[in-house]
Amino acid sequence: MDYKNSIDKNNIPKHVAVIMDGNGRWAKEKGKLRVFGHKNGVKAVQEVVEAATTIGVPYLTLYAFSTENWNRPKFEIKALMDLLVKSLEKELPTLMKNGVRLETIGDIEILPGSAAQRLKEVKEKTKDNTRLTLILALSYSSKWETAEALKSFALDVQEGKISAKDVNEETFRSYLQTADYPDPELMIRTSGEKRISNFLMWQLSYAELLFLDKYWPDFRMDDFYQAIYDYQNRERRFGKTSEQLKKSSDV
Ligand code: FPP
């Protein structure tokens, strides 16, 4: 099936989030080291970014390194950080050409100096691009984000900037790392695992979840188009009934 041409251009999700999983298992099945899987995962990152820009998804978040990933062997962490620095260097011209703005969520300050510095530079250079906002979740977890949000809120209360009784969904949202982005409508996870794994727990409240069996290094543009097609063929009820939805689309 030609998924790309079957996509309804009027119903493109504003934000898609991806848990890129399975690099290690992909490599192991080929008798290679886990790092080989991460290297091949970069190709899949290029594909998903190109597919998102092609069909006009305005926000794309990729879970590149979780808070829990700091527990991996030191050499794997170093290899991932080196890969990030190299990829950012190499991809900058493509990001500029395709109108991609790079942003990050997570505890960027604790990344190794070279990675933090390169991210800062690429974010600055791409800040006026408007076609796609590519958000890399790095040293990120939802529980970390929630604790940080509460800390900032408590400080603002202490300094008299906001009152505790002003807390509602909107004010809480403004303290999250993702305050400037819409919530994802679709979350894709590769590798057959069916978990959220501490990723955007508040923001994914109403997202459609899609779990694919293939490993991340095998993910290609057509998989993204198929995911969007799948999303468009689901009924999103937001707590309402099917009948209510049909009625409101008839008027
Ligand atoms: C999960 O697979 C993947 C990661 C923890 C890292 C993702 C990183 C990349 C795709 C490359 C660099 C990224 C950018 C943005 C240039 P896993 O290692 O958990 O695989 P496993 O579950 O099979 O062990």
The top-level CATH class assigned to 15-141+184-250 is: alpha beta
Cβ–ligand 1 distance for 38 under 6 Å, the answer yes
Label residue 243 by pLDDT band (50, 70, 90). confident
Token pair 């409101």: residue = 248
* Protein residue with its CA nearest to atom 7 in ligand 1: 64
Which residues, 6+ apart, have CB-to-CB distance to 40 below 8 Å?
Answer: 23, 26, 27, 217
pLDDT at 237 exceeding the cut of 90 = no
Cβ–ligand 1 distance for 15 under 6 Å, the answer no
Residue pLDDT, tens place only, 151-164? 999 999 999 999 99
pLDDT at 251 exceeding the cut of 70 = no
For position 195, what pLDDT does the model report?
Answer: 96
What is the best residue among 38, 40, 135, 197 to mutate for testing ligand 1's pocket, by most ligand atoms within 8 Å of CB? 38
For position 238, what pLDDT does the model report?
Answer: 80
Token pair 């251009």: residue = 9
Q: How many CB atoms lie within 10 A of CB 39?
A: 18
pLDDT at 184 exceeding the cut of 70 = yes
pLDDT at 250 exceeding the cut of 80 = no
69 is catalytic: yes
Residues 26 and 216 sit within 8 Å (Cβ to Cβ) = yes
Residue pLDDT, tens place only, 16-46? 999 999 999 999 999 999 999 999 999 999 9
For the chain, the average pLDDT equals 96
Q: Domain spans of the chain?
A: 15-141+184-250
Q: How many CB atoms lie within 10 A of CB 187?
A: 24
Q: Which atom of ligand 1 is nearest to the CA of 41?
A: 10
pTM: 0.95
Question: Which among 29, 12, 54, 30 has a CA at the least distance from the CA of 220?
Answer: 54
